[in-house]
Structure 1
């Protein structure tokens, strides 16, 4: 068990794709975690398949490095890799409680981004000092001095004190495995990340928790093992914990006396069983089935309850429903409302930023999260596990403040080519946003502003279309403002299938003349399924399964070669952004389909008529 003064707990803060997981790879490799002849993958902390595919960190991870310094001292450095996307801020806020300092990682070309601001603000709020690491200094468009100035301005804007403003700066290339104090001294790069680890020892304080006294442990995250059940992860804030000792779990619903199981300390990328863990260190504990995130674990003699970690409220909600389409149950293993509810309940154990409520029917659930990516990742995980579910359009969570309904506003940043800046600004204005600044960054233009959260739904796709696929949008929650009037986000109507069958080339050739199709010949379609985007603003009922009528009359001309425009294939997030209020996305392990909530054409017409009568009645 290392002494508290030989421990450093450090969290890494960075925007998506600024290279924090790659830098951790270099620290692990140079500390001797991997054998020289061992095979290993890049981005070892991104162990979730979704993280590897998307190149983002979704779940925070812990790893421990025993770093040997030149004076012979061995320091236990607990590295906490945090998500870089604000949608996973529930993870960020909890894991920062385990740290005593932070590495603020920024891209040498892009500089600090909106979500860097979000996480850094949380860290400064609990008194953590930053070490600034300018990463990717080997990029051709690196602007190192300007980025350091931007970090200083950001800290001033966030209200940092003089101590935090006097931050040390290192210049790094995580890919090449070096972090140095002088970016122009190429000889110093041979030392690898040694200067970074020296700075961690000097600048990050040792845990201030008392080694003597009663046990105090706070749960910051949960894990699960099929053999041992729930595993709680957190930091020993005082005293020490032994395997098998009697403890009290202080939860939201009261106290429960129990006994700890095995205690696992972090070692490299894995965990090692230990008998005792002391103050300041991080560990995982088995056997505490009643403990939840934010709970305090104490000894019997002096049960002191610690304040719970506050988590920002959700800003977006969607309705999850049982799949009632004609293809229901064909692709998935879990299709009933009970199975969907059980899966959502399991997600609530570890995903503290999520909220689940009963929907308007027994077979529907209202699920609230921090953003479209947050809910989209949950749906993608469920899809891969074999679930079928139908989800409605994302809606922003409204809040009543002083008798007035408020909606969330987001701080946004768009990087785009100079010739696309006009269409981008036009999109921001059309969705009720405010442009704050337009600045050149390298050979691109950065447009920053504020926009209502509902204006962001569907905006990413529109920006890509307006910029030839080159615009990059980032955003994070800023504040609550009085809700504005409703607005229509989608200018075009959709084509809705009237038949169930397989789409034919003959039918799609005619339809594609006036629409962008979402299906290709041979794709299965059903009544009520959305098969294309109409060129006008109204919905159009069509038959994509119509086949060519044959006769015994011989045609004079030969069949011409048929050339169909390529169909637009929707990803899950694109489909969720695209649908309107009366539409939904059907998600199965093998397909993502957009559809009308009411499938039958006749019933939809009746619904439209009833809505018009209601509107007329209100007007009178």
Structure 2
């Protein structure tokens, strides 16, 4: 006799788990999900929300749904590449190709690099956005940094992009930072387009670059759709592009076609507002501005909104003015909709990663996750004998307020409050360059402080101390390869790969080396290779502690007494090593005035005056003269200082000194 309960259960209709063509209900999604990018030709089915790698936010089954609309009039693309592969130049070429400038307008290079430091160093530090119109499509372009130390900027803006344009040099091929940014784009499921840039170089080898990029994507676990990428060949600096390597034309149509091939955003326009803060900017008249891409709904001028976060309390505010990007500037609008990148004023308490919602629908998105810092430095109050003479902001309160302001927008920066003290702040970053840029920025703003030497951030795993390792690639003329191998081996480096010399007689070697070994290695490598070495590095993870590093081979020359350096004193001291102090410069006791030619420190009296007598010698008119002084930039100064030394940074000077109590006694 059959079981009646089993017969009843078997008679229940089973829900279909696969979408069918006859399904009449429109494509719908919970309005709490972030923007999902799909091609309009795909069949209708429910999409899982795609966002940054973070724990998902629980959604209630009673939440209403909103239909998805594919916006054909807008597309957002991010440019990513290794440093100096031409991202900023490509943005310039696209802006010119879309007639964003007047015919008689003088346009400088790298127009999207707004900071003075970016123009001086020739690198992109902060990610920036612009908008152009091409074939009735609003193309929102995002220019990202190429240096590994500013990888947090790349991680922050990739969430806003519909597609990613990967630029690769036609000669160099994929480099360490290419791997990093490509890995992030693949993990987010972004569609990728490849641009082989600098095709005007005589040694261009596009076939090799395409094969190397394909192998790299396969190694990083790209999907079949991502592996089926389209290619454009270009020379951004000349405004040329083409779909074939041997068919380059004097326009950027091939790159624009690559951009228009990206999927358009599928957004819920009728859902409640949902916008994640991706950047914090400041305007002298408007105050703090929220910057981000609207994930769902519409943003209207004058409406009340809520700032929420999964781990923070909510705050309320009101939208004052809304701006959208118009070419390189901003345009004021009354409202914006999902898919648009906007800036708006009116809110005061918000940070990157917060979600802006309507007051009656508070549903925060998962916060933005970036990789943790690996290097720390101490920012201390200046306590030297010349303290307060050259700077405008010198107190610990000034320094702390400035660091707190930087933490609001610099997602890769951290402040270790447990290790900090009232007069010293432990600032953690992605690398020495990351922190040096911050120091230089503060210096130009009028800050005066002391900086401690960079140290690595270690971790304890199963009771064992682990430290960060980096994959270092060095390109150098073949004749200097022996010196490079010897130097990196003494710094606990392990050789991973070595390639022979190419047509330009440049050989390359790849090392896995502790981050500690890279601190201070740049100047040593440039000295050993006569300034011909090219270094690229990328974080390779954490490994067990490699042991103690050898101490510096050369010590420091110290000032014996406070005073003014004289030519007579410096001429007598230059036989002891290379000097970094010029005649007439004010110095104080235990300040570093040069690099000793031997190990250990040595105090010298460079302030002594020549005795005046009535005795005339035969060689009185013979003068030895001053030899060339060693010019140290801020980067060189930070790289030089040891564990018992500090760098005094002011708006006028950069001095090196021993820590208080560390100098040689009289």
TM-score range, shorter chain: over 0.9
Within-5 A mapping of 1:572-591? 572-591=634-653
Within-5 A mapping of 1:286-435? 286-358=345-417, 359=419, 361-435=421-495
Q: In 1, distance between residues paired with 2:478 and 2:359?
A: 65
User: Alignment partner of 2:277: what SS?
Assistant: strand
What residue is the counterpart of 1:46 in the other structure? 113
Q: In 2, distance between residues paired with 1:371 and 1:228?
A: 33
Q: In 1, distance between residues paired with 2:472 and 2:619?
A: 57
Q: TM-score, normalised by structure 1?
A: 0.93
Within-5 A mapping of 1:192-211? 192-202=251-261, 204-211=262-269
Q: In 2, distance between residues paired with 1:291 and 1:193?
A: 39
User: Alignment partner of 2:94: what SS?
Assistant: helix
What residue is the counterpart of 1:18 in the other structure? 85
Is the Cα–Cα contact under 8 Å of residues 14 and 84 in structure 1 kept in the other structure? yes
What residue is the counterpart of 1:58 in the other structure? 125
1:153-176: CA deviation from partner (whole Å, max 9, x where unpaired): 211221112221221111111111
User: Alignment partner of 1:567: what SS?
Assistant: coil
Q: In 2, distance between residues paired with 1:3 and 1:361?
A: 53
Number of equivalent positions: 594
Displacement of 1:599 in angstroms is 5.9
User: Is 2:605 the counterpart of 1:538?
Assistant: no
What residue is the counterpart of 2:236 in the other structure? 174
Within-5 A mapping of 1:78-93? 78-93=140-155
Displacement of 1:357 in angstroms is 3.4
What residue is the counterpart of 2:312 in the other structure? 253
Is the Cα–Cα contact under 8 Å of residues 580 and 629 in structure 2 kept in the other structure? yes
What residue is the counterpart of 2:532 in the other structure? 470
Is the Cα–Cα contact under 8 Å of residues 243 and 261 in structure 1 kept in the other structure? yes
Within-5 A mapping of 1:478-497? 478-497=540-559
User: Is 2:264 the counterpart of 1:240?
Assistant: no
1:457-514: CA deviation from partner (whole Å, max 9, x where unpaired): 0111111001110101111111011112121342111111111122222222222223
User: Alignment partner of 2:350: what SS?
Assistant: coil
Displacement of 1:448 in angstroms is 1.3
What residue is the counterpart of 1:67 in the other structure? 134
Displacement of 1:3 in angstroms is 7.2
What residue is the counterpart of 1:127 in the other structure? 189
Displacement of 1:600 in angstroms is 7.3
What residue is the counterpart of 1:610 in the other structure? none
Q: In 1, distance between residues paired with 2:661 and 2:653?
A: 18
Range that drifts further, 407-416 or 396-405: 396-405
Q: In 1, distance between residues paired with 2:186 and 2:73?
A: 24
1:10-43: CA deviation from partner (whole Å, max 9, x where unpaired): 0000111111111111111121211112222111
Displacement of 1:138 in angstroms is 0.3
Q: In 1, distance between residues paired with 2:268 and 2:314?
A: 24
User: Alignment partner of 1:5: what SS?
Assistant: coil
What residue is the counterpart of 2:7 in the other structure? none
Q: In 1, distance between residues paired with 2:572 and 2:206?
A: 55
1:214-247: CA deviation from partner (whole Å, max 9, x where unpaired): 2111111110112221101111111111111121
Q: Report the CA distance shift for 1:6/1:33 in structure 2 as closer, same or farther (over 3 A).
A: same
User: Alignment partner of 2:482: what SS?
Assistant: helix
User: Alignment partner of 1:552: what SS?
Assistant: coil
User: Alignment partner of 1:175: what SS?
Assistant: helix
Q: Report the CA distance shift for 1:544/1:599 in structure 2 as closer, same or farther (over 3 A).
A: farther
1:85-134: CA deviation from partner (whole Å, max 9, x where unpaired): 11111111111111011110011111111112111111111111211111
Q: Report the CA distance shift for 1:441/1:111 in structure 2 as closer, same or farther (over 3 A).
A: farther
What residue is the counterpart of 2:572 in the other structure? 510
What residue is the counterpart of 2:497 in the other structure? 437
User: Alignment partner of 1:288: what SS?
Assistant: coil
Displacement of 1:365 in angstroms is 0.8
Displacement of 1:360 in angstroms is 5.3
1:540-583: CA deviation from partner (whole Å, max 9, x where unpaired): 11111122222222213332132322111111111111111000
Is the Cα–Cα contact under 8 Å of residues 70 and 265 in structure 2 kept in the other structure? no
Runs of 4+ residues over 3 Å off in structure 1 = 357-361
Structure 1, unaligned runs of 5 or more? 69-73, 607-620
What residue is the counterpart of 2:173 in the other structure? 111
Largest Rg, 1 or 2: 2
Within-5 A mapping of 1:443-462? 443=504, 444-462=506-524
Q: In 1, distance between residues paired with 2:241 and 2:146?
A: 21
Range that drifts further, 438-447 or 581-590: 438-447
Displacement of 1:212 in angstroms is 2.4
Displacement of 1:390 in angstroms is 0.3
Q: In 2, distance between residues paired with 1:561 and 1:552?
A: 18
Is the Cα–Cα contact under 8 Å of residues 458 and 489 in structure 1 kept in the other structure? no
User: Alignment partner of 2:204: what SS?
Assistant: coil
1:314-368: CA deviation from partner (whole Å, max 9, x where unpaired): 1000111111111111211111111111111111111121112345542111111
User: Alignment partner of 1:365: what SS?
Assistant: strand
Displacement of 1:526 in angstroms is 1.1
Displacement of 1:387 in angstroms is 0.7
Displacement of 1:520 in angstroms is 2.1
